[in-house]
Amino acid sequence: MRERVEYQGLWWLPDREKDEVCGTLTFDPDGGLRLSLMGAFEPTESLRVSDPWHVYPVVHGVTEGRCITLVDCSGWDAGVSFPGFDKESIRAQWALLGREPVPPPDVDRICQVTVEFTHLPEWAHALSGGKAQIRKIGNKRDYAFEYSTPEPRVAVTPFGRITLSAAAGFPLGIRREHTIDEKVFLTVERDDDEAKGLEWWLTNVVTPLQDLLSLGVDQPCDLVRVTVGLAGNVWEMGDGSQAHVPFDVAFVSRTGVSYVSPAPRIARESMLFTLDDISDEFEAVLSAWLSFAGEMTYLRGLYFGDQYRRLYIDNRYSQMIQAAETFHRASTRYVNHVSPKAEFRNRRKRILSCIADEADCTFVQSLFMHANEPRLRQRLGELGRDFSPLMTGLVGDIDAWAHAVASMRNTRTHAPSGRLASDNSKLADQRRQVALLLRACLLRELGLPVELIERIEDYRIAVKKRPQIRDE
């Protein structure tokens, strides 16, 4: 759900179906889910005294045309007016919208998730393009809609079976000028006995796939729609097969401000990589990325947060430098110490043994906490040399560039704010160079060629602004 909506209806607690309360549920992409009751589930006076921040694990509701299940709810306001009536306001973390209420034990038994993202149709153009048409069949007002369903792409990963598929909507009142409403979906399925709660799905599957798509199109991508299926809750289809009963999910996207519609289309020529580029390795790429994403959650927050949120250049610069440092520290490709650990421990022990005063010894010992870790310029230099042809073309001397970036970061971190000279152009250039280096690292993790970077605009800008670094 991407727009503000309101649902008026009747609401009740799972174990008290007869105690219905009228109220309005409001969903705001920025503010979340808020239920305003014309009444209360409990006497408001007792709530205000005994439990002002009371919790309702599940709240059920029925509105015109659908049932709604609110999950992880907390009351945040309750009161009564004179003359008047009890009233209560409740916030929910997320909601399931479907044809029936969901029993409390089942809300955490999700075994299928289907998602739509902005820019997914452009990225998966090979899957969706050119499959639908409107054909005239007779007189001038008689047209037929034809759609040839493309072959879906399937990947079996440790996190579930992922299917990339496309479908087209049948436009009402077809005319020659109508365009086909074609959509592309990512569906992830697990066995019923491996069902998980929504938080697990968002953390381990949905947001990593969102990040992978954002990396591919080189633009922030937002969730358009999330639909889930619950374990054991299926429909019998006409051909004898079974399909999960779909429930729409409403929750606040982590991208927040990206809830605008519709997102402008992106030219495939400007993307870092598309479905075409990973078509032969679709399963391997998705498996590698989901495993990597689970190990690098903090890195993804730093790197992709720079795209999803609007930040000042100082914050974007610091965040991207920290992302590069985090990647080097967490990656098993690199050694996270300068001297061998045993040698460092012996040296520290010898130095501390020479200090008689206990307070001085404690102070000096604290200075050794990160003393054996590589400095930022060493980390950047090592990352850059792994992609020497690319980085030499972007920055020239890699070691001189790493020293310049580290000096800039240290100056802005430790210098008094009143003495900082604003040089946004240099900050933007260094941020862009570090971001390109991180893209190269992420492409390597996916097993894709680093040369794909040459497609994107940031690369062309960086080449034009290649720095002339002088030794100081």
Q: Are residues 183 and 79 in the same domain?
A: no
Q: How many Å apart are CA 258 and CA 213, to the nearest integer?
A: 15
The domain in which residue 84 lies consists of 5-104
Q: What is the pLDDT of residues 396-445, one digit of tens each?
A: 999 999 999 999 998 888 766 555 556 788 888 999 999 999 999 999 99
Domain end, chosen from 268, 295, 322, is at 295
Q: Are residues 235 and 151 in the same domain?
A: yes
Q: What is the pLDDT of residues 455-465, one digit of tens each?
A: 888 888 888 77
Q: Which of 432, 319, 442, 305 is nearest to 383 (CA)?
A: 442
| Residue-level pLDDT at 247 | 92
Q: Are residues 144 and 287 in the same domain?
A: yes
Domain end, chosen from 295, 322, 354, is at 295
Query: Does residue 73 lie in a domain region?
Result: yes
Query: Given CA atoms 346, 351, 352, 354 in this order, what sign does their dihedral have?
Result: positive
Q: Say whether 147 sits in a helix, a strand or coil.
A: strand
Domain count, the chain: 3
Question: CA distances (Å), 162 to each of 116, 207, 244, 294, 367, in order?
Answer: 13, 14, 15, 17, 49
3-state secondary structure labels for all residues of 289-334: HHHHHHHCHHHHHHHHHHHHCCCCHHHHHHHHHHHHHHHHHHCCCC
Residue 281 backbone dihedrals phi, psi, to 5 degrees:
-120, 30
Q: Are residues 86 and 188 in the same domain?
A: no
Query: Does residue 347 lie in a domain region?
Result: no
Query: Does residue 217 lie in a domain region?
Result: yes
Query: Does residue 384 lie in a domain region?
Result: yes
Looking at the predicted structure, is the pLDDT value of residue 161 above 50? yes
pTM equals 0.84
Q: Are residues 313 and 458 in the same domain?
A: yes
Q: Are residues 80 and 208 in the same domain?
A: no
Query: Does residue 221 lie in a domain region?
Result: yes
Q: Are residues 195 and 247 in the same domain?
A: yes
Q: Are residues 84 and 118 in the same domain?
A: no
Q: Are residues 99 and 84 in the same domain?
A: yes
Length of the chain: 472
Q: Are residues 201 and 266 in the same domain?
A: yes
| Residue-level pLDDT at 260 | 40
The pair of structure tokens assigned to 149 is 């369903």
Q: Are residues 385 and 404 in the same domain?
A: yes
Domain end, chosen from 104, 137, 156, is at 104
Q: What is the pLDDT of residues 162-208, one digit of tens each?
A: 999 987 765 555 554 455 667 889 999 999 899 999 989 999 999 99
Query: Contact, 53 vs 75, CB < 8 A?
Result: yes
Looking at the predicted structure, is the pLDDT value of residue 452 above 70? yes
Q: Are residues 168 and 95 in the same domain?
A: no
Q: What is the mean pLDDT of residues 5-21?
A: 90
Looking at the predicted structure, is the pLDDT value of residue 322 above 90? yes
Query: Contact, 121 vs 266, CB < 8 A?
Result: no
